[in-house]
Amino acid sequence: MEFNGSSPFPEGVISFLDTDLYKLTMQCAVLKYFPNVPVTYAFTNRTPEKKLSRAAFQWLRLQVNKLGNIALSNDELRFLQDACPYLDKPYLDYLKEFRLNPRDQIEATFTPVQDSGSDDDLGEIDIVVKGLWVETILYEIPLLALTSEAYFRFMDTDWTYDGQEDKAFRKGMRLLEEGCVISEFGTRRRRDYHTQALVFRGLIKAKKEGENVGLPGKISGTSNVHLAMRFNIPPVGTVAHEWFMGIAAITQDYASATRRALSYWVGCFGEGVLGIALTDTFGTPTFLKAFAQKLPEASALKPWAPESNSSIALENQASKSFAQIFVGVRQDSGDPASFVTLMREFYDQQGIKEKKTIVFSDSLNLELCFEYKQIAEEAGFQPTFGIGTFLTNDFVHTSTGKKSTPLNIVIKLSSANGNPAVKISDNIGKNTGDKSTVEKVKHLLGYVEKEWGQGDESSRWGKEGEPGQN
């Protein structure tokens, strides 16, 4: 497929691989350990001033229903077999036969602010996903991408694709010149698939140019598996908050939930495979208590069963700790400088001398990458960067040259096995879930509330009408 400004490009989402890699890895682990657990997901718009029209919502609902037509192609199967050897045969056999069922699993509603019956009426949208975890886990990324596409197809239309590839090339070259190791993480809040493809083509151009002239940085891949296949570059990613949230909700054992989640992950994929750990689901201090503990023996890892509530024999331990076998951690909320200091102290206390990786992935731009790179390297870490919305939704209004800002939208696991699922991050603005459960878990874990001055979730990528660059 050629990606340029004049060629045809797909509307909506047309492939299971048009998603972040960690959705496939988590689906693989859910199939192995939690195949019969029911869950729900909930949608949140952190930029509520950005509303859809009825016409935009109708387009969105049509595209959501089309998700039920997707099937894994033979070419896609072969790519997963070659590029993702950690996805085992039972999972790939499952995915080959798998189909989404949006008409039964998704409830999408539109509530107009003032109802005139017109297609132009503005309103709030709500999206709820219900079903087995293993069957609904692939909805999150397509639903977010489609909602963003609906907004910029119907609401904010004063923009063009012109210059997107070149802009991505320039950003890529600056990052490579500064020695940054980066991956593209922009699927969920992209303007549309075509934008992401143009952006990635610009990054590939920068990658080749950087290699030719010997720049110190590296473009290591993309979280979007479909684009990885198209551009013959590695798909990258490991795990999301959802994994920890789900296991905590299922077992109702928040004190042990992080260790259980890490144990099941290693049990599914092996030691050191997909070895970047996400730290902030229940606050990084809680995570580190589990990270320092020993792995359970592989024989202790059985599929979860309601009658036992957990099948991990936590007292049955191997010799290595999670901190030893994981190659690094991902920072996704809170103050990165404080996080680096905390991780340096932790690894030193554990007597771990190996150079570990920190992946930064929270609302990055060029300046933040350069700043965090210096902080991490001075502390003895290998920094890498997952850059998303800054790449795939960085536009200006054609008529004014002012910034056209993205939606800040999320879909999070809201319940698992009938129990509320919550996230308590390192920044209060990213906490999600049932408020009473959030407070109960904070008390149980001794969580200390944190706020970060740069953590305003309503304007993470600038404000509408600010000066833009295109």
Mean pLDDT within 379-400: 97
**How far is the C-alpha of 174 from the C-alpha of 184, rounded, in Å?**
15
Mean pLDDT within 461-465: 67
Mean pLDDT within 134-146: 98
Specify if 79 maps to a domain: yes
Specify if 93 maps to a domain: yes
Instruction: Output the pTM of the full model.
Output: 0.94
pLDDT digits (tens, 9 = 90+) for 228-254: 999 999 999 999 999 999 999 999 999
pLDDT of amino acid 56 = 98
Specify if 130 maps to a domain: yes
Residue that wins the pLDDT comparison between 182 and 451:
182
Which pLDDT band, with edges at 50, 70 and 90, does 4 fall under?
A: very low
Residue that wins the pLDDT comparison between 13 and 10:
13
11 CB contacts (<8 Å, ≥6 apart)? 63, 192
pLDDT of amino acid 2 = 45
Q: How far, in whole angstroms, is CA 96 from its chain's centroid? A: 23
Residue that wins the pLDDT comparison between 299 and 224:
224
Helices (H), 312-378: 322-325, 336-349, 366-378
Specify if 134 maps to a domain: yes
pLDDT of amino acid 178 = 98
The answer, yes or no, to whether residue 457 has pLDDT greater than 60, is no
Specify if 28 maps to a domain: yes
Which pLDDT band, with edges at 50, 70 and 90, does 312 fall under?
A: low
Number of alpha carbons in the 13 Å side-chain half-sphere of residue 450:
22
Considering the chain, what is the average pLDDT of its residues? 92
Mean pLDDT within 342-346: 98
Cβ neighbourhood burial of 441 (10 Å; 0-12, 13-18, 19+): buried
pLDDT of amino acid 306 = 75
Specify if 227 maps to a domain: no
The answer, yes or no, to whether residue 308 has pLDDT greater than 70, is no
The CATH code of the domain that includes 76 is: 3.20.140.10
- Total domain count for the chain? 1
DSSP of 278-328, one letter per residue?
E--TT-HHHHHHHHTSEEEPGGG-----TTTS----TT-EEEEEHHHHS-E
Specify if 392 maps to a domain: no
DSSP annotation of 244 reads H
The answer, yes or no, to whether residue 169 has pLDDT greater than 50, is yes
CB 264 within 8 A of CB 33: yes
Mean pLDDT within 427-454: 84
DSSP annotation of 428 reads G
Mean pLDDT within 420-441: 89
DSSP annotation of 256 reads H
The answer, yes or no, to whether residue 307 has pLDDT greater than 80, is no
Q: How far, in whole angstroms, is CA 423 from its chain's centroid? A: 14
Specify if 63 maps to a domain: yes
pLDDT digits (tens, 9 = 90+) for 255-294: 999 999 999 999 999 999 999 999 999 999 999 999 999 9
Helices vs. strands in the chain: H and E counts, helices first: 18, 16
**How far is the C-alpha of 96 from the C-alpha of 79, rounded, in Å?**
13
- The phi and psi torsions of 409 (rounded to 5 degrees) equal -125, 145
The answer, yes or no, to whether residue 47 has pLDDT greater than 50, is yes
CB 331 within 8 A of CB 341: no
Provide the residue range defining the domain that includes 39. Answer: 21-159+406-423
Mean pLDDT within 373-389: 98
Q: How far, in whole angstroms, is CA 192 from its chain's centroid? A: 17
**How far is the C-alpha of 8 from the C-alpha of 35, rounded, in Å?**
39
